[in-house]
Structure 1
């Protein structure tokens, strides 16, 4: 576990030089809690705390430089200055998630116009777009995964570039591009929502390789949860 975490931190640190100006930055507001109360700083030994373990399961991690210029990874936003938000994993992909997907609150009003426009343009159910966004990022437009997927529909940079996306963190651009990609996958898999969602998560080539949902626990968890959310958003 320690090796995995160190590898993850090194990957994030190395990517930081390239991505630091491209990720969304936010200005911190003063808070009562200490910004460094539970944090990982690159100048200190890294330990696998319960809070870091939670981060690996998909919670937000705040990324910023402290007063000494050190990079900090914390589950608290800093009290002042700029920070970036990292979401280390697919929100709905953890096989052992304790979230009750049948009762978790839905996001029925966020980005209504953008979703309606994308649904009309690409002939998709608004409920499907909403279910995928919920599964991918829990409607957090600033989300970025450990492999670099960005925004509401967690577009990989290469996919975003192919789709002509200028700013993957812009909700309208992200929803339009993610919906276009989802429509392409539905066409590729003859309208099969299960296979299209599996391809959205694991890649279309993997779905074709296994002639169905790939035998990855994360992908199967993801597909199941999108289906649950889709049914609930249809009832909306």
Structure 2
């Protein structure tokens, strides 16, 4: 048993150095034929390519994205599945997403909306989801709980919904409302 001390040291080193909060994973992505980005830490086929080396966060606060979503869904009287569906449709869960119109983060807040919702860092998932869920709640309240109109307003702005007396005749907005509702059904 000459190797016993080495084996014990290896096992103990592995046990002592393991910290579940410090786990790391590489992130891979691919863009499908509809322009939707898909991210994973476990690529299942060759369409995925290396995207980002993930590192552990050292910030205090909720332990997971799911915790953040739940916290602000509850705080804003929203269905958790709806928040997840909006995030999926807006950014495919990419906290660094930026749209052509300057919308930023997971819930794609334009600078004016971010200021209105007091979001100081739209790329911070918690700050973005806090502001995005407040804005979504505001749109639902503004349109008397009508999900289609609230989603259209989230996408095109409440003024466009009012001007058109309903979902604006913009292909992007109409597709957005349907996409969020499909994701909502899958998350329920």
Q: TM (normalized to structure 2)?
A: 0.67
Distance 1:213 1:185 in 2: 13
User: Which contiguous aligned blocks of 4+ residues in structure 1 show a shift greater than 2 angstroms?
Assistant: 54-60, 75-78
The aligned counterpart of 1:160 is: 114
Residues 59-118 of structure 1, C-alpha deviation per residue, up to 9 Å, x if partnerless? 59xxxxxxxxxxxxxx9979xxxxxxxxxxxxxxxxxxxxxxxxxxxxxxx711001110
Map 1:184-203; keep pairs closer than 5 Å.
184-203=138-157
Matches within 5 A, 1:120-199: 120-199=74-153
If asked which structure has higher relative contact order (CA below 8 Å, sep 6+), I would say 1
Aligned to 2:16: none
1:52-91 pair list within 5 angstroms: 57=35
Corresponding residue of 1:66: none
Specify the SS of the correspondent of 2:84. helix
The number of aligned residues is 137
Is 1:207 the counterpart of 2:161 in the alignment?
Answer: yes
1:211 Cα deviation (Å)? 1.1
CA RMSD, 1 decimal: 2.4
Change (3 A) 1:151 1:218: same
Q: Which residue of 1 aligns with 2:176?
A: 222
In structure 1, how many angstroms separate the alpha carbons of the residues matched to 2:99 and 2:70?
A: 26
* Residue 39 of structure 1: aligned partner: none
TM-score computed with the length of structure 1 as normaliser? 0.54
Check whether the contact 2:73–2:133 (CA below 8 A) recurs between aligned residues. yes
Gaps of 5+ in 1: 1-28, 30-53, 61-74, 79-109
Deviations 1:24-78 (A, max 9, x none): xxxxx9xxxxxxxxxxxxxxxxxxxxxxxx9994559xxxxxxxxxxxxxx9979
Taking the aligned partners of 1:120 and 1:59, their CA distance within structure 2 comes to: 28
Distance in 1, Cα, partners of 2:92 & 2:35 = 13
Write 1 or 2 for the structure with the bigger share of helix. Answer: 2
Q: What residue is the counterpart of 1:15 in the other structure?
A: none
2:19 equivalent in structure 1: none
Q: Say which SS state the counterpart of residue 86 (structure 2) adopts.
A: helix
Structure 1 residues 127 and 56, CA, compared in 2 at 3 Å: closer, same or farther? closer
